[in-house]
Chains A and B, each alone.
Chain A
Amino acid sequence: MASSTGLRELQRDLENKANDLSKLQKDISKNHQIRKKYTIQLGENELVLKELDLLSEDANVYKLIGPVLVKQDMAEANANVKKRIEYISAELKRLDSTVQDLEDKQNSKKETIMKLQQKIQSLQAGKGKA
């Protein structure tokens, strides 16, 4: 009787852990998606920077803000793009670290789940014999 309650508890524990794991996996995939988006943006910004460098100083540059085009200074635009690239790079680094962190967590969770499963199996085997 005691073993069956123990077993039930273990199973509940396992379920919780599995839920946690799936949550973690979701987080990781979400992070990956964000990361992908940022990398694309980074590429785009780098392209813009390259083009801006190729433009002459007196060229007219506009920024689309909402529905309107706002005229911008070349230097300002350049600085803005550079800042944006910096920001995205920093963000990418941050995302990398968080993904790493999440993956570590995921691995540890997987291990605990494996252990739980083994425990349950051994318990069930013992129960079958008894």
Chain B
Amino acid sequence: MAESVKGTVTSLSSLFPVEEAQKAAKRVEEIISERQKQLDQLRDFAADNNTLIRLVQRLPDELHHDIMVPFGKAAFFPGRLIHTNEFLVLLGEGYYAERTAKQTVGILNRRGKALEVQVESVKALMQDLKAEASFFDATASEAAEGLVEIREDYVEETSPKEASMIGIVEPKLPISSQAEDVSHVKDEEYDRIFSRLAELEKEEEEAEHANQEEIGSDDSDVSPGHVILEEEMKSLELEERGKSSRFQSTEKFPDHWHVEGSKATSKDCIVPENCLPENLAYGKFNLTENAPVEPQAEEDVKAPVIAETKAEARPSEPQFDSSKAFTGSIVEHNSDVNSKVQSVSRSSKPVSRFKMQRK
């Protein structure tokens, strides 16, 4: 690859010379005409078959028919057709069978069906060939017009973009810069979502425990969290809704805070996967929002979180501790919770304000 130029430019006519393309197109045309002939022949057979069926159906209507019998190529003599319900039908390969008119019609109908199948197959073949021909024609005309093909490496293009995007956001963050690696953008993104989820679960667990006044065993805190976490991955939104209703019924302050926070994060977790590459503003948004969380979980997803749970689980009022352990984004929520009915979009707005404050 050239140092300055990213892609390569080759004229189409050098790849596919005009004459060659035209030759190919001509050849395909020839094949098509051949197939067309075959198709016509098959259609003729089918038509013959149909007239024959009609004749065979009509013959037994009379006991005998007066006909002109062909004699040689040019001569006819009058004759009479008798035994009008007896046919010697050619089955193919020199085999003949004695059949009645009705049976003969059955055979002929089956033959007609076989012919139809053949017609269809030839038609499909011709369609393919026509597509090929049009492609060759297009190629020939494009080559004649002097079209050029420009090739650029897709991966080369995207990774610097993402890197630069991270570069914009990351330097503001204190810890995240140490662990960042351009090649691990995806993993990191996943980790971030995962850690966020894990924390969320911890919080919920914790809040529940706080409600039930079950403060103490850390192990029991950790394992259910993981179990629920897996469930959460599948149906995040649904479960959240169910929990939110449950929590709101308890009418406790930390729970509200928690519900609001979880709602916001569930959205956040979903968004960056889809929108990060396309929408820069959105991506930044999420990064800054997630940024304060990263320090806790960047090196290891689980361990810091557990430690945090320990720290949070011991005090009887987790509401303040967790708000301290968590960063500004959640403090904002905390203050906003008083108004209870808070849309997600609004909940994320204060965070951006917070970001400006941090700057």
Contact with A along B82-101 (1 / 0, CB 8 A): 00000010011111111100
> Given the complex of chains A and B, what is the CA–CA distance between A48 and B88 in angstroms?
14
**Proximity string of chain A (55-99) to chain B, C-beta cutoff 8 Å, 1 when within and 0 when not:** 100011111110001001000010001001000000000000000
Q: Which residues of B contact A62 (CB under 8 A)?
A: 88, 95-98
* A39 at the binding interface (Cβ < 8 Å): no
- Contact yes or no, A60 B93, CB < 8 A: no
Asked whether A59 and B99 contact (CB < 8 A) given A47-B111, A47-B114, A51-B110, the answer is: yes
20 contacts between A and B (CB under 8 A): A44-B92, A44-B93, A47-B91, A47-B111, A47-B114, A48-B91, A48-B95, A50-B110, A51-B91, A51-B107, A60-B98, A61-B98, A62-B88, A62-B97, A63-B94, A64-B94, A64-B96, A69-B88, A81-B95, A84-B93
Partner of B96, one of A41, A50, A61: A61
Please state if A59 and B93 are interface contacts (CB–CB under 8 Å). no
**Given A47-B114, A51-B107, A59 contacting B95 (CB threshold 8 A):** no
**Besides A52-B95, A63-B96, 7 new A-B residue pairs in contact (Cβ under 8 A), listed by A number:** A44-B93, A48-B92, A51-B91, A51-B110, A55-B97, A61-B95, A69-B88
Task: Choose one: B88, B93, B107; the contact of A45 (CB below 8 Å).
Answer: B93
Within 8 A of B (CB), among A82-119: 84
- Count class of interface residues, chain A: 20 to 34
Q: Which residue of A lies closest to B118 (CB)?
A: A43
Q: A84 vs B96: C-alpha distance in the bound complex, in angstroms?
A: 16
Closest CB-CB distance, B189 to chain A, in whole Å?
A: 50
Instruction: Give Cα A9–Cα B141 distance, bound, in whole angstroms.
Output: 43
State the A residues within 8 Å of B (CB): 41, 44-45, 47-48, 50-52, 54-55, 59-65, 69, 72, 77, 81, 84
CB–CB A61/B114 < 8 A: no
Residues of chain B within 8 A of A63, CB atoms compared: 94-96
| Contact call B91/A69, Cβ cutoff below 8 A | no
Assess whether A45 is in contact with B97, with CB atoms less than 8 Å apart: no
- Across the A-B interface, give the 4 residue pairs with the lowest CB-CB distance, nearest first: A60-B98, A64-B94, A62-B96, A44-B92
- Count how many chain B residues have C-beta atoms less than 8 Å from C-beta atoms of the other chain: 15
B27 to chain A, nearest CB (A): 15
Interface class of chain A by DSSP? helix
Are the CB atoms of A52 and B94 closer together than 8 Å?
A: no
Contact partner, A47, options B92, B99, B106, Cβ 8 Å? B92
Residues on B with beta carbons closer than 8 Å to the beta carbon of A50:
110
Residues of A contacting B96 with CB < 8 Å? 61-64, 69
The residue on A at minimum CB distance from B111 is A47
Measured CA separation A77–B96 after assembly (Å) = 10
Complex Cα gap A38–B156 (Å): 55
CB proximity of B68 to chain A, nearest CB, Å: 24
C-alpha gap A128/B345 in the complex (Å): 79
Q: How far is the CA of A45 from the CA of B95 in the complex (A)?
A: 10
Q: Residue B93 contacts which of A54, A69, A81 (CB distance < 8 angstroms)?
A: A81
Q: How far is the CA of A111 from the CA of B93 in the complex (A)?
A: 44
A110, B88: Cα distance in complex, Å: 54
A81 to B96 Cα, complex, angstroms: 13
Q: Cα distance A64–B97 when bound, in Å?
A: 11
Q: Report B-chain residues with C-beta under 8 Å of the C-beta of A60.
A: 97-98
Q: Is the CB of A59 within 8 A of B92?
A: no
Q: Which residues of A contact B93 (CB under 8 A)?
A: 41, 44-45, 48, 81, 84
Return the chain A residue nearest B99 by Cβ: A59
Please measure, in the bound complex, the distance between the C-alpha atom of A65 and the C-alpha atom of B97, giving whole angstroms: 14
> Which residues of chain A come closer than 8 Å to B95, judged between CB atoms?
48, 52, 61-64, 72, 77, 81
- Rounded to whole Å, the gap between the CB of A60 and the closest CB of chain B is 4
Residues in B neighbouring A64, C-beta threshold 8 A: 94-96
User: Shortest CB–CB separation between residue B286 and chain A, in angstroms?
Assistant: 57
Determine the residue in chain B with the shortest Cβ distance to A59: B97
Instruction: Report the Cα distance A64→B93, complex, angstroms.
Output: 8
Cα(A41)–Cα(B93), bound, Å: 8
Bound CA–CA A61/B98 (angstroms): 6
